[in-house]
Amino acid sequence: MTAIWVAVLITAAGCYALKLTGLIVPRGVLDNPRVRRFAELVPIALLAALVAVQTFGAGQSLSLDPARLAGLGAAVAALLLRAPFLVVIVVAAGTAAALRALGVA
Amino acid sequence: MTDIDDRVAERTRARPVRDGVALGLAVGTSGIAFGAAAVGSGMSAAQACVLSLLAFTGASQFALAGAVATGGGLIGGAASAILLGSRNALYGLRLADLLPRRGARRLLAAQGVIDETTAVALAQPDADAARRGFRATFATIYVTWNLTTLLGALGAGRLGSPQSLGIDVIGPAAFLALIWPQLRAGRTERAVGLGGAVIALAATPVLPPGVPVILAATAALAGALLSPLPEPA
């Protein structure tokens, strides 16, 4: 529990420091177009990685959880139908929960 | 100026605030998902709430909850959570001219530099509207996000196991929804997203939890170095 508190406070301090850094950094750092492009692409790479790891990862191994896969598939379907963020989340969790409740997956 | 002109001007003036409040309410409500995911991962309700109050950036918070859920790897988890917050620094670079330049007001504004406030501010036609949009979005989403974090954290404990509620799917579904518009935006974005996912999965069996996600940043580096740049304006 103490370790989690430490992680929470480190994360909070780090996240705030980064927000402030953007406001106090000297102008012109992003004048280089490649640097700017990297900055734009970083969140896409990291978030896609998190989607993959949280879907297929189990600690340091990879596994297939049918209910979780179905939930993510439902999220993709909701996104293709242009559903709002919260609907996507509810559909994903609801699909996985329903499949587990029915004992299907 | 006619009445109609007045009304149009008034409506245009109200737009950034209205858009900011609407987005703040819609996205802020998903704090309930974070609160539930955090407690489901093994964090206490107090830890979930402190993280929402102080870190106040959704992707990083979900990332830390994910690290807690997988057990161990808390330093790597915090590192990847902070790295995920790095885009807020880049937003700050773009918002610096619009926000208070010094003192306590700048320290306060910094906490509000996130995806949603940036999106609303940069969608406005002028600096004044951008500031009003930023403030409205920040205030609405901060209050909503923190209240619903508390609700989600308190509810999850009573409703049963996180697996049976499908809470383990909330993190990946939320991340996918957040990057979806960018994945649709271009081929480089899709390649970088796919590359990041493949790199992280390949690294998962051999590296400590949290590190594979950081390693995925190399996909962004490759994308930035290899893809053609837009023509300078």
Check pLDDT > 80 for residue B222: yes
| Cross-strand pairs, A57 | A62
Looking at the fold, whether A22 and A41 belong to one and the same domain comes out as yes
pLDDT of residue B59: 80
Nearest in space to B108 (alpha carbons), one of B99, B119, B120, B116: B99
Provide the residue range defining the domain that includes B70.
3-162
Looking at the fold, whether A59 and A69 belong to one and the same domain comes out as no
Which of A38, A53, A72 is the best residue to mutate to test the B interface, defined by the most B CB atoms within 10 Å of its own CB?
Answer: A53
Looking at the fold, whether A76 and A51 belong to one and the same domain comes out as no
- Whole-angstrom distance, CA of residue B91 vs CA of residue B122: 10
Looking at the fold, whether A75 and A98 belong to one and the same domain comes out as yes
Residue type, A55: T
Q: What are B99's two structure tokens?
A: 């926000």
**β strands within B87-162, DSSP E:** none
Q: How far is CA A15 from the centre of its chain?
A: 16
DSSP states along B38-73: HHHHT--HHHHHHHHHHT--HHHHHHHHHHHHH-S-
Looking at the fold, whether A86 and A48 belong to one and the same domain comes out as no
Looking at the fold, whether A56 and A100 belong to one and the same domain comes out as no
pLDDT of residue A86: 73
For residue range A51-79, list pLDDT tens digits in order. Answer: 899 899 887 889 899 999 999 999 999 99
Residue type, A32: N
Looking at the fold, whether A77 and A58 belong to one and the same domain comes out as no
The tally of domains found in chain A comes to 2
Provide the residue range defining the domain that includes A49.
1-63
Please report the residues numbered 125 through 144 in chain B whose beta carbons come closer than 8 angstroms to any beta carbon of chain A. Answer: none
Quote the Cα angle for A18-B128-B105, to 5°. 40
- Whole-angstrom distance, CA of residue A60 vs CA of residue B196: 17
- Domain assignment present for B17: yes
- State the smallest CA–CA distance between residue B185 and chain A in angstroms: 11
- Whole-angstrom distance, CA of residue B89 vs CA of residue B110: 9
For residue range B184-194, list pLDDT tens digits in order. Answer: 888 999 999 99
Looking at the fold, whether A20 and A58 belong to one and the same domain comes out as yes
- State the smallest CA–CA distance between residue A27 and chain B in angstroms: 7
Q: Which of A30, A45, A63 is the last residue of a domain?
A: A63
Check pLDDT > 90 for residue B66: no
Looking at the fold, whether A68 and A56 belong to one and the same domain comes out as no
Q: Rg of the Cα trace of chain A?
A: 19
Looking at the fold, whether A4 and A50 belong to one and the same domain comes out as yes
Residues of chain A contacting residue B172, judged by C-beta atoms under 8 Å apart? 50-51, 54-55, 68, 72, 75, 92
- Domain assignment present for B218: no
Nearest in space to B144 (alpha carbons), one of B21, B15, B18: B21
Q: What is the pTM of this model?
A: 0.66
The tally of domains found in chain B comes to 1
Cβ-based neighbours of B223, under 8 Å, separated by 6 or more: A37, A38, A41, A45, B188, B189, B191, B192, B195
- Domain assignment present for B228: no
Residues of chain B contacting residue A24, judged by C-beta atoms under 8 Å apart? 96, 106
Looking at the fold, whether A49 and A77 belong to one and the same domain comes out as no
pLDDT of residue B74: 87
Q: Which ipTM value was assigned to this complex? A: 0.82
- State the smallest CA–CA distance between residue A56 and chain B in angstroms: 8
Pairing assessment for the beta strands A61-62 and A57-58 based on DSSP bridges: antiparallel
pLDDT of residue B233: 47
- Whole-angstrom distance, CA of residue B117 vs CA of residue B98: 12
Check pLDDT > 80 for residue B71: no
Looking at the fold, whether A48 and A84 belong to one and the same domain comes out as no
For residue range B50-64, list pLDDT tens digits in order. Answer: 999 999 998 889 889
